[in-house]
Structure 1
Amino acid sequence: MAVTQQLARVPAEYLASCRQSADASPDGDPLWDPPSTDVLDLDWAPFLVERAGELGGLDDVRRSALRQALDGDTAIDLGFLNTHPHAIGSFGPAPTALSAAQVARAAELLGQIDFPALLDALPTDEAEAASLIGSGADKIVGGPKKYVLRHFTALREFYRGASRRQLLVVLWWD
């Protein structure tokens, strides 16, 4: 089974409820089960999206926002989501999250990124572009550019929706 990055949009109250459930449960079960409509599977695209942005000349402010949108932040304590046997991110680093304010800022900056223009800065030959991007991009059926654009667009829309609803975003690898 492949390890992929997952994101969930949740209200602060839901996260508090999960924390309470974990504290009350004898085995630390947080009853984590966000609605599937508020979960995004980014596959293993985060590394490729970030690299394409770097190669395409994405400025530091937006590159930092993209990195935060993909990595989260450790300011919100999510230890209760990382406890065996109910750990949600048992194959990667500990889960992270962005507050509603951080989500709003990330959504704003992601919305300012012209990702097709960044991809236009890459070689037109998909094999050459894949070689520059690295991280297995050469194995992507259909070429890395479409794959990276599709996942960046999904990420941007996901954050836009979370921002509109003033939700937090929780990130983990599973």
Structure 2
Amino acid sequence: MAVTQQLARVPAEYLASCRQSADASPDGDPLWDPPSTDVLDMDWAPFLIERVCDLGGLDDVHRNAFRQALDGETAIDLAFLNTHPHAISPFGPDPTALSAAQAARVAELLGQIDFPALLTALPTDETEAAALIGNGADKIVGGPKKYLLGHFDAMREFYRGASQRQHLVVLWWD
């Protein structure tokens, strides 16, 4: 089983409800089960997208927004989501989150990134591009460019939806 980056957009009230459930449950079960339409599996794309951003010369403001979109912040206490036997992140670092305001700012900045332009910094040959990206990009069936563009676009749309609904975003590796 591969460990992949996961994101969930949820209202603050849902997170509070999960915290209350964990506190009330004898085994700490938070009853964490956000709707599948509000969960995004980024697979292993974050490392590869970050490499494309480096190679394409993405400026620091947008690079930091991208990192925040996938690293979250530790200001929101999510320890109740990572307690055995109900841990949502048993194989990775502790879950993190972005507040609704932070998610909205990230959505705005991700919307400004011209990812197809960053991809043009790569060689046109997919094999050469994969070698330059590294981190297993050569194993992506069909080449890395389409895969990375699809994942970047999905992440941008995910954050746009979180911003529009004023949801916070919870991030973890599973």
Q: TM-score, normalised by structure 1?
A: 0.99
The structural deviation recorded for 1:114 is: 0.2
Q: How do residues 110-149 of structure 1 correspond to structure 2 at under 5 angstroms? A: 110-149=110-149
Distance in 1 of aligned mates of 2:54 and 2:20? 41
Distance in 2 of aligned mates of 1:70 and 1:134? 19
Q: How do residues 54-73 of structure 1 correspond to structure 2 at under 5 angstroms? A: 54-73=54-73
CA deviation string 1:92-127 (max 9, x = no partner): 110000000000000000000000000001111111
Aligned CA-pair RMSD: 0.5
In structure 1, the partner of 2:10 is 10
In structure 1, the partner of 2:100 is 100
4+ runs deviating over 6 angstroms? none
Residue 130 of structure 1 aligns with an amino acid whose one-letter code is A
Structure 2 unaligned blocks of 5 or more: none
Structure 1 unaligned blocks of 5 or more: none
Aligned-partner SS, 1:9: strand
Residue 153 of structure 1 aligns with an amino acid whose one-letter code is D
Aligned-partner SS, 2:43: coil
The structural deviation recorded for 1:172 is: 0.5
Q: TM-score, normalised by structure 2?
A: 0.99
Identity of aligned residues (%): 86
Residue 108 of structure 1 aligns with an amino acid whose one-letter code is E
Residue 58 of structure 2 aligns with an amino acid whose one-letter code is L
Aligned-partner SS, 2:170: strand
In structure 2, the partner of 1:158 is 158
The structural deviation recorded for 1:29 is: 0.2
How many residue pairs end up in the alignment?
174
Q: How do residues 6-45 of structure 1 correspond to structure 2 at under 5 angstroms? A: 6-45=6-45
Residue 119 of structure 2 aligns with an amino acid whose one-letter code is L
